[in-house]
Every structure is written in C-alpha cells, then in structure tokens.
Amino acid sequence: MAIKDTSETWETLSTSRPFQGAKTAVDSDEVRMPDGSVARRDYQVHPGSVCALALDEDGRVLVIRQYRHPVRHRLWELPAGLLDVPGENPLHAAQRELYEEAHVKAGDWRVLADFFASPGGSDEAIRVFLARDVAEADGERYAEASSEEADMQVEWVAREELVRGILAGELGNPALVTGVLALSAALASEAGLDALRPADAPWRARPYEA
C-alpha cells in the first residue's frame, strides 16, 4: 500500500458563503457522508501561501519575528506571503517575499515541503521552498510595509537552535516547524539537499502557470 494523500470529493449538496473578507472567505457546505447522512462543514477559503527557508553557508536559517493577533503571540517565522494573484507562480511569489521581508536574494531554489495548514477547518495549502546561495539583494531595501510588518525583526539563527526550540515547544509557527524539520531530515538523508524536488515541481493543491 502506497502511503500518500489522494484526491477525493464527497457529494456537496449546497454551498453558501456567510463571510467574504479582503483575502479569505468562509464557506458552509452541506456534505453527503458515506453512511448517507448530511453534515455541515464550515471552513476558511484561502488562496494558499508560500514560504522561503533561506539557508546560508554557515547552516543558519533566516527567520523573522512578527505579531500574530489571532493567537496573541509574536512568532518567529519564515518569510512568507499569500498567493493572492490567481495562477501566480509560487516560486516567483516566494522570491518576492524573501526580497520584501528580508532584502535577500538566492541563486538556488528547491521545493522543501508542501502541506495543508489546518485541513479540518481551512483549504489553505502551503509550499515551503529551500533557498540557498543567498546574498543581500541589490538596490534599496523595500520601504513600504503594512502595519503588521512595520516592526518586523530579522535574524539569522543556527538550524540546531531552531530544532531545539521546536522540540521544546518554544517555536510554533507551522511553516517554520515543517520547514526546519524537513530540512533536518533532508540533511540527514543519504541523498542530501540536491535530491529535493526542483523549484518548478507540480503542486496539485495549487496548480499554477509555469
């Protein structure tokens, strides 16, 4: 038996949208269950996100510290952003976010991990890229920042310290946890980082134009 996720759709009898926000929405579906009963499923409709795990020659990871109001925490995270342009190439979006949030560019990009952020209550899909051969970006640092990004802190942190913080329960951003642990697993594998998927690998959860 192959252990992999598979696409499947149960019969949806009706759909309504009780909330439409600027970037996301909430849908309410009436779904036919396998036993014939009908259940309501309320969930966030999300355009998807990309993250960039930038790794330097010393094994340090670039992280940012940002306030997240829903959880009332200031979290350490990877540079990330929404795929709010329909059909946008996720690599281009990740490169943009790395530049805008940290003023960094990278010469080598790979897909590190794909995952669903909270599949029981949201359709948000996240792709984490590994960015290597990093350097300061050209030109002036991106100056325009939203209110949440205005006091963003940027640091280079040893991967081992991030792993320690994750296992100690001190770091909880899902993309950071997934990306750092996936990086550690890849580094420990016989194939190494060069065996990771190419940056333009297909993404079934969020198809895009190459």
Pairwise CA distance, residues 132 & 108, whole Å: 5
* Active-site position among 149, 155, 190, 209: 149
Q: Which helix (H) or strand (E) holds 165?
A: helix 159-167
Give the 3-state secondary structure of the chain: CCCCCCCCCCCEEEEEEEEECCCCEEEEEEEECCCCCEEEEEEEECCCEEEEEEECCCCEEEEEEEEEHHHCEEEEECCEEECCCCCCCHHHHHHHHHHHHHCEEEEEEEEEEEEECCCCCECCEEEEEEEEEEEECCCCCCCCCCCCCCCCEEEEEEHHHHHHHHHCCCCCCHHHHHHHHHHHHHHHCCCCHHHCEECCCCCCCCCCCC
- Any catalytic annotation for residue 97? no
Instruction: Say if residues 99 and 142 touch (Cβ distance below 8 Å).
Output: yes
Catalytic residues: 149
